[in-house]
Amino acid sequence: MATTELVSELKRWCRGEGLDETYALMTIVPEEVEIHEVEETLETIKSLGRVRVRGRNFSARLNQRMVLCESRETVKEESVPPEVKPADGGEAWPVIIIGKAQAAAEEFNSKLKGLLQAEGKTMEDLQSLFPSTPPPTSSTESILRAVGDLLDKTTKPADGGSYGRLRMFSGALPTPPGEEPFDHWLEQAWLLVEETECSDREKRRRLIGSLKGPALEIVKAVRHANPDASPKECLEALESVFGSAESGDDLYFAFRLMQQQKGEKLSDFLRRLERSLAKVIQRGGLPASCMDRARLEQLLRGAIASDLMLIQLRLRERKAAPPNFLQLLTEIRAEEEYESSRKKLSASVHQVHVNPEVDTRKLRSRA
């Protein structure tokens, strides 16, 4: 049963990653195992050829990772062992593939559930007819059973809501395909750390699960120095290495020099200001309590191509009680839409006025 659930998970994962099932396999490894170790170990199965890791998910219950891999050669059920031994001689890793036997078992499981539903019965009713399941006979079977139980539970929404998965970041330059630039990745990572309702331990694991290469080495060094380092400390260490070296004062000075570019809409200029201001606040260049006032002041100072719109929005008169970012953006976009509609209407009216002039000339010639 557990194996069938794992095959189902592998199929869903393949669809999500756009991976051909005939070249896909999954293994379960300890948390500290590196990507290159997974690839090198699976490549000892000669029938697979070259193997590349395509994704990783961490299981808090097992304290291990589920790793999605792609092989160069077609995965053949008869030539892939159920488990593989790592090079360091540790405990064997289970290998899950979408073989014909497992696909048939999955199909049977689906038909069985449909039959039970039609009869108004449940799997518990069926299990009560049989003696209790014997204990697992190996550590691999224990892992498969535990992961199957975990997958059953994760089909229901977890308490506290769900949150997105961070994309991979390595710190390599230029940014490899499939990875986010550091600034974009860091914004998502801070959202994970500050907004999600889960333990620091789980947040740290999710951060580590999105790292590889030089970036992973930095966090490992932080944890080596302090095994209880918080997710915030991990992010601060990454930012000190891969982020800008400018101080909060330097960033604030650059923020105060920002101006609207030629052809740039006021709403786009506001968004650009906001990204810069967020970095200023994060680096301590300005107290968060002064954020709304600083944003409005720089918008008034730097919006050199939108004087009329600033007057219409009466923003200068509101400096004593400045709106927040979302209020300001909403008002500006509404004004931009109104101005765009007015221009379209003016163009239509101008076309309508041209035709009567033509008709008048025709009438005069006839007279």
User: Could you report the per-residue pLDDT of 109-123, keeping only the tens digit for each?
Assistant: 666 666 666 666 666
Lowest mean pLDDT among 42-51, 106-115, 322-331: 106-115
Question: pLDDT (tens digit, 9 = 90+) per residue, 261-279?
Answer: 988 999 999 999 998 898 8
Give the model's pLDDT for residue 159.
40
Within a 10 A sphere around the Cβ of 255, how many other Cβ atoms? 20
Question: pLDDT (tens digit, 9 = 90+) per residue, 60-113?
Answer: 666 678 899 999 888 888 888 989 988 777 888 999 888 754 555 555 566 666
SS3 state of residue 96: strand
Tell me the mean pLDDT in the region 324-353: 80
Question: pLDDT (tens digit, 9 = 90+) per residue, 178-197?
Answer: 887 888 888 888 888 888 88
| Side chain identity, residue 76 | K
Lowest mean pLDDT among 35-39, 144-148, 222-226, 346-350: 144-148
At 283, the pLDDT band (50, 70, 90 cuts) reads confident
Decide if pLDDT at 345 tops 70: yes
| Side chain identity, residue 249 | D
Q: DSSP character for 165? A: P
- Asked if 204 and 234 count as a contact pair (C-beta separation under 8 A), the reply is yes
CA distances to 136, 202, 214, 249 from 178, in Å: 40, 24, 16, 34
4 or 27, which is more confident? Answer: 27
Q: What share of the chain is helix, strand, coil (3-state, %, to 5)?
A: 60, 10, 35
What is the percentage of the chain residues whose pLDDT exceeds 70?
Answer: 74
Tell me the mean pLDDT in the region 237-251: 82
Lowest mean pLDDT among 94-108, 282-296, 314-328: 94-108
| Side chain identity, residue 251 | L
At 13, the pLDDT band (50, 70, 90 cuts) reads confident
SS3 state of residue 249: helix
Give the model's pLDDT for residue 161.
41
CA 354 to mean position of chain CA atoms = 55
Give the model's pLDDT for residue 257.
93
Q: Residue ranges of the alpha helices (H) in 165-290? A: 182-195, 200-209, 213-225, 231-242, 248-255, 266-282
Which of 275, 341, 331 shows the shortest CA–CA distance to 306? 331
Which of 279, 261, 283 shows the shortest CA–CA distance to 270? 261
Dig out the tokens for 22 from the structure: 């005939």
363 or 188, which is more confident? Answer: 188
**Alpha-carbon distance 229 to 168, whole Å?**
21
Tell me the mean pLDDT in the region 338-347: 79
Give the model's pLDDT for residue 156.
42
Within a 10 A sphere around the Cβ of 225, how many other Cβ atoms? 10
At 8, the pLDDT band (50, 70, 90 cuts) reads confident
Within a 10 A sphere around the Cβ of 24, how many other Cβ atoms? 21
At 249, the pLDDT band (50, 70, 90 cuts) reads confident
How many CA within 13 A on the CB side of residue 89? Answer: 0
**Alpha-carbon distance 327 to 151, whole Å?**
42
Cβ neighbours for 265, distance < 8 A, ≥ 6 positions apart: 336
At 366, the pLDDT band (50, 70, 90 cuts) reads low
Cβ neighbours for 251, distance < 8 A, ≥ 6 positions apart: 244, 276, 279, 280, 283, 285
CA 239 to mean position of chain CA atoms = 18
Question: pLDDT (tens digit, 9 = 90+) per residue, 142-166?
Answer: 555 655 655 555 444 444 344 457 8
Within a 10 A sphere around the Cβ of 341, how many other Cβ atoms? 10
Give the model's pLDDT for residue 58.
77
Task: Tell me what the pLDDT averaged over the chain comes to.
Answer: 79
Give the model's pLDDT for residue 217.
93
Give the model's pLDDT for residue 114.
67
Give the model's pLDDT for residue 284.
85
Give the model's pLDDT for residue 311.
83
Give the model's pLDDT for residue 294.
93
